[in-house]
Chain A
C-alpha cells in the first residue's frame, strides 16, 4: 500500500428516505477543518436511489465534490449494496480519510467496509484532529506527520483514548452524532458532482427487506433542543415529571431524562441522555434529581450551562454543574416555573 496515493477527506453522506441526515452536515463541517489542515478537498459520498438532487445541499454545507451512486439497489439501507458501493469508491478514489456517522447505519456500514478495504476504523469519535504519531518524537520510531488523530471515550465514559491509523489508508472513523459543528450553509454553493457506478450483482448477502415499520411516536429530538429539562430517579415518579414538563414549557425547552428513568419505564429510551443514550449539547441543561453517574455526564457535559438541583450535596452532578443548588426539587421547580412565567410576561 502506497500511502502517498491516498488524498482527500471523504464523508459518507447518510440519507434516509431521500432526506440527508443531520450527521452528514456535521461531518462535512469537521471535514472542512481537516481538509484545510491537510490542504486538500472535501468529498461527500452520496448513496441511494433517486438522490442526485440532494448534491447541492451537501455543497452548501461544505462539500467541494459529491460522488453520487444512484441505484435502485440502494433505495433502503442494506449492508451489502451500501458496503459494496462505499468500498468501490474507496478503491477507485483512494481517499486519505473517510468519516462515517456513528448511527445505526454507520456503525454497521463502517466496520463492514473497513474490513473489506483492510484498514482500521475508530468508532464513535468525539474529537478529530490532524497531528503527529507518535504524539511525541520517540527514539527508534519515525514520527509521522499529518495523521488523523481520533479521540473517543471508552469504558462507559470513564476513559478517553486517542487513536491513529498510521500505516493503513484510508484512516476511517465513525463520529458520534451531535458532537461536530455544521457550518452555516452557504446558499447557492455548488460542488463538482460525479456519478459513479460500481455495478451491483445481488447474491445471498443482499438481504431482503420484508417490511419497514416506522416509530409512530412523534417526539422532539432532544439532540436538537436548545434547552433541556432533564430528570433522574430523584424526580420520584413518572407523574412527578409534570413539574419538569411545566418548566420546560415556560422556557420553550424539552424534557429529557437519565438512564435510571428509562430503566424504571417512566420515559421512553429516545429521551435518554448519556453514554447509552444520546449526546446533547444544549444552551442550558437542567439536571433535576440526577445524581450524575459517569455514563450520564458523558452525554451532557458539553452543554453550555449546566444547572443542577439535587437534595444530596455530595451528588457527582455538582462536579460538572456550573450552578448547583442543594435542595428539594419538589419545592424549587414549581416555584421556578412560576417565577419564570412572571419574568417572561414582564419582559413582553
Chain B
C-alpha cells in the first residue's frame, strides 16, 4: 500500500503572529511546528504502515525551510519526503494550495491520501477536501478511526452528535482529527537518518496538469482586504473583595442588569 500524507509547517501560535505589508503572513519571522492535525494524520499513516505494511510519502508545500517538517516526519518513520517550493506558488489561498498539491500528488502512486483536518494558522479545513476534488477521488473528512479492508477503507467519520461508519474504495482521501491518536515521538537515530536521506524538491515545472492561472497569489480567488491583530473589547471593572463583599457585588450587578 502506498500512502501520501500532506503536512504543513505552521507558525507556533504561542510565539505571536507577524504580517507582511501586503497582508499575507510573514512566515519567516515566526517559530514553526508541524501542524497538529497533520501530525495525527501522519501517525495514522504510520500505524497503517505498522499494521498492514505501507510506504509513506510526506508532501509539503512551503518555503525551502519547510524541509524541516519533512525531516521530522521521516524521523518519526515516514519513508520519503517531497518538498514543493517555488516563488510563483507563494501567497496561495486554499484553492491555489490544493491545486498545487494535487499537481504534485499526480506524480506519485497512492492508495490513500491523508491530510490533517485543518491547520492551526488558517483553521480553514479546506485543502484536504479540495485536493480530493481536483484528483476526483472520494473524501472522508473528520476521521476518528481508520481501518483497511481489502481494497477499501473503513472510517469513523465524526459529526457533532454522531459518527458514521463509512466505507470507501481506495484511492481515497481522509482528513484526520488531532483526537485520532497520540502521535509518536521521533527517535534520536531516526533524526540523524532523516538528515542523511534525500528529499525530493519540486518546483512549478514539476507539477502535473496544472494551469498557471490557478497558482500562487495571482491564482487565488480569495484576496485579503485587511488583516490585523484582533481588537478586543476593553476591560470592565476589576475589584479585590473579601468573599461576602464579592457576593453582594455580583448580586447587585445581576440585579442592575435584570438577570434576577
Q: Do A and B come from one complex?
A: yes
Name A residues whose Cβ lies closer than 8 Å to a Cβ of B: 16, 76-80, 83, 103-105, 107-108, 110-112, 114-116, 118-124, 133-135, 149, 153-168, 204-215, 227, 251, 270, 275, 283-284, 297-298, 301, 305-307, 309, 313, 318-328, 331-332, 335-336, 339-340, 343-344, 347
Given A135-B225, A162-B224, A339-B248, are A323 and B130 neighbors across the interface (CB < 8 Å)? no
Tell me which residues from 227 to 260 in chain B have a Cβ below 8 Å from any Cβ of chain A. 227-244, 246-251, 253-255, 257, 259-260
Cα A86 to Cα B121 with chains together (Å) = 28
When A and B form their complex, which 5 residue pairs have the shortest distance between CB atoms, in order from nearest?
Answer: A120-B221, A120-B222, A115-B133, A111-B126, A322-B236
Tell me whether B169 is interfacial, beta carbon within 8 Å. yes
Interface size class of B (residues with CB under 8 A): 35 or more
B220 touches which of A118, A120, A156, A331 (Cβ 8 Å): A120
Tell me whether B93 is interfacial, beta carbon within 8 Å. yes
Contact B222 A339 (CB under 8 A): no
B138 touches which of A134, A159, A204, A319 (Cβ 8 Å): A204
Contact B235 A331 (CB under 8 A): no
A202 to chain B, nearest CB (A): 11
B159 touches which of A104, A133, A167 (Cβ 8 Å): A104
A227 touches which of B120, B221, B240, B259 (Cβ 8 Å): B259
Given A115-B134, A123-B126, A305-B257, are A325 and B228 neighbors across the interface (CB < 8 Å)? no
B222 touches which of A122, A327, A340 (Cβ 8 Å): A122
Name B residues whose Cβ lies closer than 8 Å to a Cβ of A: 11, 13, 16-17, 19, 23, 93-95, 98, 120-130, 132-134, 136-142, 154, 158-169, 220-244, 246-251, 253-255, 257, 259-260
Cα A309 to Cα B241 with chains together (Å) = 11
Which residues from A are CB-within-8-Å of B159?
Answer: 16, 77, 104-105
A155 touches which of B13, B93, B255, B257 (Cβ 8 Å): B13
Residue of A at shortest CB range from B255?
Answer: A343
Contact A213 B254 (CB under 8 A): no
Given A115-B130, A207-B167, A335-B247, are A301 and B141 neighbors across the interface (CB < 8 Å)? no
Given A114-B95, A115-B130, are A325 and B225 neighbors across the interface (CB < 8 Å)? no
Given A110-B126, A111-B129, are A324 and B238 neighbors across the interface (CB < 8 Å)? yes
Contact B167 A161 (CB under 8 A): no
B43 to chain A, nearest CB (A): 18
Contact B249 A158 (CB under 8 A): no
Q: List 14 A-B contacts (CB under 8 A).
A: A155-B13, A160-B231, A165-B221, A205-B137, A208-B168, A210-B167, A313-B238, A313-B240, A322-B236, A323-B253, A327-B242, A327-B243, A335-B247, A340-B251
Contact A325 B250 (CB under 8 A): yes
Interface centre among A123, A298, A313, A347 (most CB of B within 10 A): A123
A45 to chain B, nearest CB (A): 18
Contact B221 A167 (CB under 8 A): yes
Which residues from A are CB-within-8-Å of B257?
Answer: 284, 305
Contact B249 A323 (CB under 8 A): yes
Given A79-B129, A123-B124, are A326 and B167 neighbors across the interface (CB < 8 Å)? no
